[in-house]
Structure 1
């Protein structure tokens, strides 16, 4: 009996330790898979110069290879996010990551432009709902007051994955050939799929789910699933979708075209241009984390400050990139571009927190899937393609000078959303309480 009594507190401590560790295991694995996601997506940018020469491709064709992934993600994000909410988020993640990893392997085996385009489409199919379902998984096991920080940190995985994909892809393309650049990303993705399947299940996620007792989000008194109409029920949530989407037009353009811009404006070889661009995109990821953390600290007592910080981030990126790309190549330009890149995706964390606060947890993956739809159709798909079309007409240098002006649309949406936020939040609460 004495031994049983003595062992009791130890077992309790073990359970408490596991309860504290598991959310960080979830974050680490979902973040690693997001790295793999964007490595598979953005490695293409590193081999743009090689493919352009090998297959005699135009800039529009190159931009289309990037945009088709984001377009596929945008079209399928909402239905597949809804499936993730209903079928099981952990199982959905395993399936999605497996699809994009196998499609990346297919890219390595492509014999022509058409086959590569088909592989890129299937990469988009696999990635379509991962950002929303993966983020919903993370937000469910951490306290609500950390939402902007974790959203910013999670989405920064896109920048970090792009950095690794572009840098590593450039090196592999130069030394082993462009096909190995894709193959390496596929192997990493498949290894992470196996690890996630072994360590994370839907049952474990349910046991570690944190009740949002301290948040201002609308929550039903019962376990009934919220109506899908609430995804667009308030002006502010619509403005959050639009503001984030337009701002990511800039980030998506930088992801796709910064290596080529450095190659043409600074006469850097493909591998060195990819390396410098990778550093810039890494800086963007750091900016997302910092901006999300600042937003959480400033808005913990005054919720509307989420909108204020997003507006500031968008404005700084507009001014810095607008002036920077208008200057001739040199040190001053690079400094301004660094500032603009840092804040280019800074509104992502606040936007994720806004959408989470204006929608119910039972459909959170679907709500974040709607945000993903806007981010991809208005931003990550439109940016590379539009800049590519402009580059064929006026040159890439001039196209990049025009690109930052899209932030004006983001600023308008965020300003309208901020003004409507108090009323929208009250309306969202009321709609849930009367169900």
Structure 2
């Protein structure tokens, strides 16, 4: 994950373009997340890291308050891709006092195991259960005592792991329409509302709609969907092509599925694009990207398995165009500060020598003060950055992207946890 800036040590520079070949030669799939708008990222360089590895790049765009879980959803999708899982369903909404919300999703005989994942800022106030096609209810107590089920919960995430088929009271649960059932615990819901007293906008939204949630289902399955995005250029006016391939046990699902794309343009205007089956099990759609910015594509596929049972699959992709997007990315070879960097490395090396330190001490020169001056002189921006950005802290960089203080606090806490 990157904010797109070419960050370096004081006087040692290596650019994304310099390591792209090394990274791409690794034996594995490579995924990238660009944190921010297209104009502050380096989409072409990030895409170069993923090309040829069956991975892909995702870009967040502006992290506004209404996109609280966009980054978390990207991580969930990448985790699914890295572990060869497919996304069956990925809705979001609000749950409030009143009747339970029942979210339907299909599992088929091709699915070997499944994960039902719930993201929410107030999990303690939400009841989360699963309902099988036969009507059996799976709750945390049932899952903890069952050999093929488990339930896990953390600060803002809860999930059920389901091994298929799952023997339960009324029979074996496997293919069919399942439900996620979400409700409210009144006592904890009141406590959650009291925590929002200092956030009037969030409190008003909670009173009006309830608690925000994102729910998604992953399956390890013999029925796979693989989406990809290609574009003729990184400049406005480029043609973007979204492609989805559906297979069952490695065989294309010819004539047994349909696919469409829900597109959100840089100005947040939505539209739906129908995808044509250009080859057996292969769907495509193309359009011209004339506006500068990040384009979000949600591929939705549905159809029938060889046994005639329904299935659904989803995947999110992003693309971007910007003025100057086809300009060659910076490299060490074109760095105008390369000579100065060599001098800085030479002086840094000398300051680490014991004899030099002793000579400076005898001359009354503090080696520490000299090193601080050297670091200050050598801390220069890279050619891809504006001069003032080189000294910005990470929090300052994120603040220019994430405009909501609460979202920024959550991101900073997560980054601190990663450091530990």
TM bin, normalised by shorter chain, reads under 0.3
| TM-score of the two chains, using structure 2 as the length reference | 0.24
Find the structure with the greater CA-based Rg.
Answer: 2
| TM-score of the two chains, using structure 1 as the length reference | 0.23
Answer 1 or 2: which has greater helix percent.
1
By relative contact order (CA 8 Å, sep 6+), the higher-ranking structure is 1
